[in-house]
Amino acid sequence: MIKAIKGTRDILPPESALWNRVESTAREIFDLYSFSEIRTPIFESTELFARGVGEDTDIVSKEMYTFEDRDEKSLTLRPEGTAPVVRACFEHQLRHEMPIAKLYYLGPMFRRERPQKGRYRQFHQIGAEVLGSDNPAIEAEILEMLQLFLVRIGIAEHTLLVNSIGCPLCRPPFLGKLKEALVAKRALLCADCRRRSETNPLRVLDCKVESCQPIIDSLPKISDFLDEGCRAHFDKFLGYLDAREIAYQQVPRLVRGLDYYTRTTFEITSTALGAQNTLIGGGRYDGLSEILGGPPLKGFGFALGLERIVLILQETKKIAETAPAQLFLAPLGEAAFEKATLIAKFMRAEGIRCVLDFEARSLKSAMRLANKLQTQHVLIFGETELQNSTYQLKHMASGEQTELTETDLRSKLVLGRLKGSF
Ligand code: HAM
């Protein structure tokens, strides 16, 4: 039998219910902060990511799913959402309508990484971008929003790591010193870092190879090179976090794996995840629009990995995965089954989660199934009940059974009982 491709996953029930819960909570919270949804295509021009994310990043150099279309145009399955959002913002002149565009997205992304727990080749992100402001207050507000989201879905234990990676004005002197230090340590670096130390030394700080870690720890720190503007921006950002009582750790080597960042960068990690412990990553990308050939545009945003959020929720069992049905219909005999199809239609239109069993079963087997599905009530009726227009409603938890007439069954009182599950 044909199997799913390595690094991709089928999201099955009951896990899919958890996904829906996380997605709907994100939508609710983002709405409170005036974000609107944007949906961009799954594939884009390769150039969008090559320029936006950066040729020398792992994403562009090793991980993109790139293919030639029939007209020989190079296309890429999107590895991330920020560059497409910035592209769409200009293509549709969104900023004429909203001076500060607050946009969120959710959907699949594609990176050809080595699959492991929490790391897939098709994975899903929920992200948000604020375009048109360089106020550090907006950065703190987004972190406040993320904290509310994490608490609301039940992930209270997480760590916020922050850094500033400066701007194109103060970064060159830092990169000069970094290069010098890397030349001295060249022999000790992994092959990728040896290459990066010449092409894009900032990427060395992002290396995950064990043997490079002590060397990275000894390298110059960007925080010692920030110019006045970047320093003031970062201090204001930290001040806004303090005022909101949002705890954080400053991590000078937090440069993130994409080239478009300037000034503030951040990650939110969770110890519950093991090696792939970054739940959320983001930062400011004031120069991205120009890199893509657009006019200047300030931007700040983040993306979270949905698979990683769901993994934590499954491990900590913070959210019940599916709500059991409120009513199981147990018709006994063919005529009762016909009637049951109409009762099910009525109940569902009234908003009651209802299970209609399509197999002809004995009462005992129907009750066993209702028990297994953890249904709250079972409606039992056979030929005799049909003739008298009566039904037996059994409350599964207490075992209590009530006889109902046709009118009772459709009454507000009984519908309320089914909905409230008492
Ligand atoms: P990123 O750090 O590359 O940032 O990805 C963000 C999050 O996506 C990660 O923290 C992780 O949870 C999840 N993720 C990344 N790769 C994988 C994978 N292979 N499998 C499972 N989950 C994964 C960005 O993508 C930026 N666009 C974020 C951003 C938005 N910055 C500013 N605005």
Do the beta carbons of residue 5 and residue 13 sit within 8 Å? no
Q: How far apart are CA 8 and CA 110, in angstroms?
A: 10
Q: What is the pLDDT of residues 314-365, one digit of tens each?
A: 887 655 556 789 999 999 999 999 999 999 999 999 999 999 988 888 999 9
Q: Which pLDDT belongs to residue 81?
A: 98
Predicted pLDDT at 315: 85
Assigned token pair, 117: 């727990």
The domain that holds 361 is classified in CATH as: 3.40.50.800
Cα(124) to centroid(ligand 1), Å: 9
The pTM of this model reads 0.89
d(CA 359, CA 366): 9
How many domains in the chain? 2
113 lines ligand 1 (CB under 6 A): yes
What's the rounded Cα separation, in Å, for the pair 388 and 405? 8
Q: Is 123 in the pocket of ligand 1 (CB under 6 A)?
A: yes
Centre of ligand 1 to C-alpha 309, Å, is 12
- Are residues 145 and 257 located together in one domain of the fold? yes
Domain membership of residue 364 (yes or no) is: yes
CB 120 less than 6 A from any atom of ligand 1: yes
Show which of 281, 297, 316 is a domain's final residue: 316
Report the residue among 123, 289, 298 best suited for mutation to probe ligand 1: largest number of ligand atoms under 8 A from its CB: 123
- 45 CB neighbour count, 10 Å cutoff: 13
Query: Counting beta carbons within 10 angstroms of the beta carbon of residue 387, is it exposed (0 to 12), middle (13 to 18) or buried (19 or more)?
Result: exposed
166-223 pLDDT, tens digit each:
999 999 999 999 999 999 999 999 998 998 888 889 889 988 888 999 999 999 999 9
CA 73 – ligand 1 centroid, Å: 26
Distance between CA atoms of residues 5 and 25, nearest Å: 30
In sequence order, what are the beta bridge partners of 395? 377
Give the percent of the chain with pLDDT over 70: 98
Within a domain: 196? no
**Pocket flag, ligand 1, residue 80 (CB < 6 Å):** yes
Atom 1 in ligand 1: residue holding the nearest Cα: 281
CA of 146 to the centre of ligand 1 (A): 15
Using the 3D structure, point to which of 281, 316, 351 is the last residue of a domain: 316
Count the alpha carbons within 13 Å of 178 in the hemisphere toward its beta carbon: 27
For residue 319, what pLDDT is reported? 54
Structural domain contains residue 270: yes
Tell me the C-alpha distance between 173 and 196, whole Å: 17
Q: Cα 155–160–165 angle (5° rounding)?
A: 150
Amino acid letter, residue 367:
M
Report, in angstroms and rounded to the nearest whole number, the Rg of the chain calculated over CA atoms: 28
Tell me whether residue 2 is in a domain: no
Q: What is the Cα–Cα distance from 121 to 395, expressed in whole angstroms?
A: 46
pLDDT at 318: 55
Residue 283 CB–ligand 1 contact under 6 Å: yes
Do 151 and 238 have their domain in common? yes
The Cα 276–Cα 329 span in angstroms is 45
Same domain, 139 and 55: yes
Which amino acid residue places its CA nearest to atom 17 of ligand 1? 119
Residues 33 and 111 in one domain: yes
pLDDT given for residue 361 in this prediction? 86
- The half-sphere exposure of 401 on its side-chain side, counting CA atoms within 13 A, is 8
Kindly report the CATH number assigned to the domain that includes residue 278.
3.30.930.10
**Which of 105, 162, 278, 297 to mutate to test ligand 1, by most ligand atoms within 8 A of the CB atom?**
278
Residue nearest to atom 13 of ligand 1 (CA): 305
User: Are residues 120 and 83 part of one domain?
Assistant: yes
* Contact between 202 and 166 (Cβ < 8 Å): no
**Nearest CA, atom 25, ligand 1:** 80
Q: What is the pLDDT of residue 136?
A: 97
For ligand 1, what atom is nearest to the CA of residue 121? 19
Clarify whether residues 259 and 153 are in a common domain. yes
Q: Is 302 in the pocket of ligand 1 (CB under 6 A)?
A: yes
| Nearest protein Cα to ligand 1, atom 2 | 281
* Distance in Å, CA 357 to ligand 1 centroid: 43
DSSP state of 62: I
- In this prediction, residues 307-314 reach a mean pLDDT of 94
Residue 422 pLDDT class (50, 70, 90 cuts): very low
136 lines ligand 1 (CB under 6 A): no
Residue 260 Cβ < 6 Å to ligand 1: no
306 shares a domain with 341: no
pLDDT at res. 203: 86
Ligand 1 atom with the shortest distance to the CA of 280 = 10
Statement to judge: residues 20 and 111 lie in one domain:
yes
Domain boundary (249, 284, 316) is at 316
**Domain identity same for 153 and 56:** yes
Instruction: Please state the rounded mean pLDDT for residues 222-249.
Output: 96
Q: Is residue 10 a part of any domain in this protein?
A: no
Is the same domain home to 156 and 67?
yes
Please state the rounded mean pLDDT for residues 125-146. 97
Residue 43: domain span: 15-170+226-316
- How many angstroms is it from 5 CA to the middle of ligand 1? 21
The pLDDT of residue 131 is 97
What pLDDT does 61 receive?
A: 92
Residue 219 lies in a domain: no
Report residue 226 as tokens. Answer: 């920030």
Cβ of 303 less than 6 Å from ligand 1 = yes
Better pLDDT: 361 or 28: 28
Residue 69 is predicted with a pLDDT of: 97
pLDDT value of position 421:
54
106 CB less than 6 Å from ligand 1? no
Ligand 1 lined by 9 (C-beta under 6 Å): no
Q: Is residue 193 part of a domain?
A: no
Atom of ligand 1 nearest to the CA of 82: 27
Question: d(Cα 35, Cα 101) in Å, to the nearest integer?
Answer: 8
Has residue 161 been placed in a domain?
yes
Whether 133 is in the pocket of ligand 1, judged by its Cβ within 6 Å, is no
Q: Are residues 102 and 76 part of one domain?
A: yes
* pLDDT single digits (tens) 45-103: 999 999 999 998 889 999 999 999 999 999 999 999 999 999 999 999 888 878 899 99
Same domain, 128 and 259: yes
Percent of the chain with pLDDT strictly greater than 90: 83
The DSSP element (H or E) to which 146 belongs, if any, is: helix 136-153
